[in-house]
Amino acid sequence: MGYRARIDAMRGELRAMNKAIPEAMQGFGALSRAVHDGGALDLRTKEMVALGMAVVQRCEPCILFHVEALMKAGASREELGEVLAMAIQMSGGPGMMYAGHALACWDELAAG
């Protein structure tokens, strides 16, 4: 399954969660909006932080969503590489394996 299909499948699972636990999901959505909107950092920088954390935490669905968001925020592949390098530096070999997923996802989404 390609990365686009994985992202779409995860969105389907999240829609099911919205139906099953709407209050919790609405609360998480409100937190996400509060963190993303405004503040001293721009959205691209915030997505770089989120992607680095997702790699370090080894959360593949998070990695895929934040790669997509980082692309939409106007980041370059070079900036992605720097984020991944920092994540690898902070998490070692396991982070390197998950950083590979992030780079492959970027390349697939960039190819259309």
Q: What is the pLDDT of residues 60-73, one digit of tens each?
A: 999 999 999 999 99
How far apart are alpha carbons 46 and 33 in whole angstroms? Answer: 12
Higher per-residue pLDDT: 48 or 1: 48
87 contacts 52 by C-beta, under 8 angstroms: yes
Q: What is the pLDDT of residues 24-61, one digit of tens each?
A: 999 999 999 999 998 999 999 999 999 999 999 999 99
Task: Compute the mean pLDDT over every residue in the chain, rounded to the nearest whole number.
Answer: 96
Domains of the chain: 3-111 (1.20.1290.10)
Q: What is the pLDDT of residues 79-92, one digit of tens each?
A: 999 999 999 999 99
Q: Residue 94's pLDDT is what?
A: 94
How far apart are alpha carbons 92 and 71 in whole angstroms? Answer: 25
Say yes or no to pLDDT of 112 above 90. no
Q: Residue 1's pLDDT is what?
A: 86
- Find tokens 């959360």 and name the residue: 59
Phi, psi (degrees; rounded to nearest 5) at 40: -75, -30
Does the pTM surpass 0.85? The reply is yes
Task: Provide mean pLDDT across the span 82-109.
Answer: 96
